């Protein structure tokens, strides 16, 4: 793979970001990635294209839709979660929007509600948090008796 002042052919770009040509062309068509400089066999891609594609892959791996990725690439800021991972900013709520929440019933009058995507927690982290909260509640109850 030859590098010409941060200029890459489509084949070189595919190897760098570990994506196939079809997927990269689709992202360009959808406006998620800038068009290449030049046309035909003389077209080349730069560092910005690599960054865009790696960002898209990161968000796809995190489970975001292409529509949501397009919103994020449109200039919304990125935040760091408590685990150090990048967490997408919450979408503004729209009338009629549906959210899925995890609801942990701890005891009568004691409940926990979590919206996993906004909290930036993976399903495994949500389960671990619930176990820890249940354990902590049991300790509090035992300490008061």
Cα separation, 102 vs 90, whole angstroms? 17
Q: DSSP labels for 56-68?
A: HHHHHHTT--HHH
Exposure string over 70-108, b if 16+ CB within 10 A, otherwise e: bebeeeeeeeeeeeeeebbeeeeeeeeeeeeebebeeee
Taking only the tens place, the pLDDT of each residue in 109-123 is 999 998 877 777 788
Helices (H), 62-122: 66-73, 116-119
- pLDDT-based confidence at residue 80 (cuts at 50, 70, 90): very low
Of 110 and 92, the structure prediction assigns the larger pLDDT to: 110
| pTM, to two decimals | 0.52
The answer to whether 17 touches 23, Cβ cutoff 8 Å, is no
């Amino acid at each position: 793979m030859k590098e010409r002042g941060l200029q890459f052919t489509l084949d070189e770009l595919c190897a760098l970001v570990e994506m196939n040509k079809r997927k990269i062309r689709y992202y360009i068509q959808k406006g998620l990635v800038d068009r290449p400089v030049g046309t035909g066999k003389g077209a080349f891609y730069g560092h910005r294209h690599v960054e865009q594609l790696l960002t898209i892959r990161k968000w796809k791996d995190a489970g975001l839709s292409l529509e949501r990725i397009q919103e994020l690439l449109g200039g919304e800021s990125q935040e760091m979660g408590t685990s150090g991972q990048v967490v997408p900013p919450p979408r503004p709520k729209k009338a009629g929007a549906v959210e899925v929440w995890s609801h942990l019933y701890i005891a009568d009058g004691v409940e926990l509600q979590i919206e996993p995507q906004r909290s930036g927690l993976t399903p495994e982290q949500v389960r671990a948090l619930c176990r820890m909260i249940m354990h902590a509640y049991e300790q509090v109850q035992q300490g008061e008796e």
